[in-house]
Amino acid sequence: MMAKTFTIAIDGPAASGKGTLARRLAAHYGFHHLDTGLTYRAVAKALIDRGLPLDNEAIAAEMAQNLDLKHLDRKALATHDVGEAASKVAIMPAVRRALVAAQRAFAQTLPGTVLDGRDIGTVVCPDAPVKLYVTASAQARAKRRHAEILAGDGEADLAAILADLERRDARDMGRTDSPLKPADDAHLLDTTEMDIETAFLAAKRLVDEALAKSQA
Q: Which residues are annotated as a binding site for ATP?
A: 12-20
Query: Which residue positions form the known binding site?
Result: 12-20
> Within 13 A of 187's CA, how many CA atoms are on the CB side?
20
Helices (H), the chain: 18-29, 36-49, 57-65, 80-89, 93-107, 138-151, 158-174, 196-215
**Sign of torsion over alpha carbons 69, 70, 71, 75:** positive
Q: Is 116 helix (H, G, I), strand (E, B) or coil?
A: strand
> Distance between the two ends of the chain, CA-based, in angstroms?
15
Decide: residue 206, CB within 10 A, 0-12 exposed, 13-18 middle, 19+ buried. Answer: middle
